[in-house]
Structure 1
Amino acid sequence: MKIILERNLDFRQFQNLIILTFITGMLFLGMLNSASFKSYYIIESILFLLCLIFISILFTKKGFFVENQKLYKVIFLFGFRLKRTLIETSNFQQFSIIKGKLSTNYSYSNDIKELHNWEPDLNYSVNCFTIFIIDESKSYNKKVLTLTKPEKVKLAIDFIVKNTHLTLY
């Protein structure tokens, strides 16, 4: 049983990877159409493989998978499991959701005072919901997954309650 929740990359990572994919693709197409294939075939092959890898990373999604009563955190590509990580739930009885903010700041000139005054504020933050599993004494918790969409959090909660012994705290 599996559930695919949301994109594996946050907004800025996704945006930067699209730009990198575009630049790599343009380099590949430029080399393919301007030079003879035999002279730069290794570089062209590497650029082509990089484009394929970048495009596949853009389409990865994260979610959960249950097999033999064990819960896994999984990265999917078009519904196929690429990577799965076992979430050890035997020592835990409950899980909780904590609301917070995911924030990235791309200001690079903090050390140079003259440039810091002129640089725009590139901070980008979104609400996030982090799923933690908690032990019986509530003294130890372990992060499981971070989601940004409230409707996906509800799906994750229903999936965990239905397919594991964990209860919502």
Structure 2
Amino acid sequence: MKVVLERNLDFKQFQNLIILTFCCVMVLLVMLNSLQLGSYVYGKVALFLFIILFFALLLTRKGLYIKNNNLYTAIFLFGLVLKGELLQTAEDDGLSVREGKLSTSYNYSNRRRGLNNWEPNLNYSVACFTINMIDEKGDFKKKIIRLTKPEKVKIAIDFIIENLSLKYN
């Protein structure tokens, strides 16, 4: 049983990877149209493989799956598990959700103090929800998954409660 929840990359990573993929596609098209077919074959093949890899990274999603009554967090590509990580669960464990901010900042260096006034603020933050495993006392035990959409959090919690003996607090 598995549930695929949301995109594996945050917004800025997704945006930067789209730009990089577009640039690589343009360079490959220029190489294919302007050079002889036999020249720079290894460069063309390598660039084509990078483009395939970038598209695959753009399409990866994160989620949860259960195998042999064990909970795994996973990265999926077209519903296939690329990477899974086992989470040790016990019967007296519970679930909790913490709300916070997921922030990425691309700050410049502070070497040139006079230019800091003109530097743009590249900080991007979004609300996030972290599903945690807690023990019977309510103490933090382990992070399960971090999601950005509240409806996906509900789907993940329902999936875990239905398939395992964990309870939601």
* TM-score interval (norm. to shorter): over 0.9
Report what 2:47 is aligned to.
47
Is there any run of 5+ residues in structure 2 with no aligned partner, and where? none
2:126 corresponds to which residue?
126
- The TM-score, its normalising length taken from structure 1, stands at 0.95
Q: What is the deviation of 1:116?
A: 1.2
- Tell me the equivalent position of 2:5: 5
CA distance in 2, matches of 1:161, 1:18: 36
1:83 Cα deviation after fit: 1.0
| 2:35 matches 1:35 | yes
1-structure distance, mates of 2:84, 2:92: 20
Contact 1:109 1:115 in 2 (8 A): no
Paired residue secondary structure (2:47): helix
**Shift in Å, 1:46:** 0.5
Q: Judge conservation of contact 1:94–1:135 (CA < 8 Å) in 2.
A: yes
Secondary structure at the aligned position of 1:117 is classed as helix
Matched residues in 2 for 1:151 and 1:139: separation?
25
Alignment of structure 1 residues 114-153 onto 2, 5 Å: 114-153=114-153
Alpha-carbon offset, residue 140 of structure 1: 4.1
For residues 92 and 130 of structure 2, the distance between their equivalents in structure 1, rounded to whole angstroms, comes to 16
Corresponding residue for residue 60 of structure 1: 60
Tell me what 1:26 maps to.
Answer: 26
Q: Which amino acid aligns with 2:8?
A: N
CA distance in 1, matches of 2:66, 2:20: 35
2:163 aligned partner = 163
1:139: how far off? 3.5
Sequence identity, in percent?
54
Query: What is the TM-score when the length of structure 2 is the normalising length?
Result: 0.95
Equivalence for 1:94: 94
**Residues paired across the two proteins, number:** 169
Q: Is the 8 A contact 1:109 1:119 kept in 2?
A: no
Cα RMSD between the aligned structures? 1.3
Structure 1, gaps ≥5 residues long: none
